[in-house]
């Protein structure tokens, strides 16, 4: 079509030589158009391949990093992840995620930084706190969180832009030390009773399940678990200090 239009324009301005030149240039433009439209047709006319959501695959990728952190693959931790995914997404969808992960990602190097970049772009801060809690849950599935696992999770927390106090708070939910209740509330043991009460109100608000109502039920349950840990920490401090 373009070649004939260009030939007519060429003839109007330059007679026969213009018509010939216009025809040649128009033919080239026609060929380019066909090639381009054919390329797009090839790409977009295909049925999209059905794969699990990127979020699930990225979450599974972070899980694999934690599982491999201590140099061995623990079956208990693997089972924990599988149960979590089945509870969160259903058996069929969870199995599809695991299949895709095994085929595409499992045998390749997983970049925690790249995965976290994607997650940061698609989740809010309270959701990322829940992801951190989930990763500690994986590490603790065999009864203890190893130093190497905690260090790996701390790196991930940094990539997820989680501040250090929040990291220490969630970590303290799994590491029961002499001052873990204070760490959960993100305060020092020297804090006054008034500061303890204020910290509890702040942390209860931060970890309230309502913050992640947009996520799946399993994530909401995780938020409820964190909320209970905050309450337990506060109750422990109140008991120790005789706060009423």
Return d(Cα 244, Cα 74) in angstroms, integer: 44
Packed helices 54-67 and 112-122: angle between N→C axes, nearest 10 degrees: 140
Q: Are residues 93 and 52 in contact, defined by beta-carbon separation less than 8 angstroms? A: yes
Kindly report the number of other CB atoms within 10 A of residue 111's CB atom. 12
Return d(Cα 228, Cα 183) in angstroms, integer: 15
Return d(Cα 118, Cα 53) in angstroms, integer: 12
Q: Which residues of 131-149 are buried (b: 16+ CB within 10 A; e: fewer)?
A: bbbbbbbbbbbeeebbeeb
184: closest CA among 192, 176, 161?
Answer: 176
Return d(Cα 62, Cα 110) in angstroms, integer: 8
Tens-digit pLDDT string for the chain (244 aa): 444 444 454 445 455 554 444 444 455 444 444 343 333 233 223 333 434 567 888 899 999 999 989 888 888 998 999 998 888 888 888 888 888 887 766 666 778 999 999 999 888 888 898 899 999 999 999 888 999 999 999 999 999 999 999 999 999 999 877 788 999 999 999 999 999 999 999 988 887 777 666 666 666 777 788 888 999 999 999 999 888 7
Return d(Cα 150, Cα 168) in angstroms, integer: 10
Residue 135 tokens read as: 């990763």
């Amino acid at each position: 079509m373009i070649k004939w239009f260009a030939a007519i324009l060429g003839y109007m301005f330059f007679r026969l030589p213009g018509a010939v030149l216009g025809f040649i240039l128009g033919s080239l433009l026609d060929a380019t158009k066909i090639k381009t439209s054919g390329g797009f047709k090839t790409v977009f006319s295909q049925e999209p391949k059905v794969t699990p959501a990127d979020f699930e695959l990225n979450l599974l990728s972070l899980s694999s990093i934690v599982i491999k952190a201590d140099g061995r693959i623990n079956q208990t931790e693997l089972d924990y992840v599988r149960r979590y995914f089945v509870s969160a997404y259903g058996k069929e969808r969870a199995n599809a995620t695991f299949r895709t992960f095994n085929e595409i990602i499992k045998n390749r190097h997983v970049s925690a930084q790249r995965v976290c970049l994607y997650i940061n772009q698609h989740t809010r801060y309270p959701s990322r706190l829940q992801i951190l809690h989930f990763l500690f849950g994986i590490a603790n599935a065999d009864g203890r969180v190893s130093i190497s696992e905690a260090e790996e999770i701390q790196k991930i927390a940094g990539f997820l832009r989680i501040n250090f106090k929040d990291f220490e708070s969630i970590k303290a939910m799994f590491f029961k030390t002499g001052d873990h209740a204070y760490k959960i509330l993100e305060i020092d043991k020297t804090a006054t009773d008034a500061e303890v009460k204020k910290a509890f109100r702040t942390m209860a608000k931060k970890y309230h399940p309502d913050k992640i109502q947009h996520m799946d039920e399993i994530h909401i349950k995780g938020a409820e678990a964190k909320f209970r840990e905050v309450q337990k920490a506060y109750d422990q401090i109140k008991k120790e200090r005789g706060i009423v």
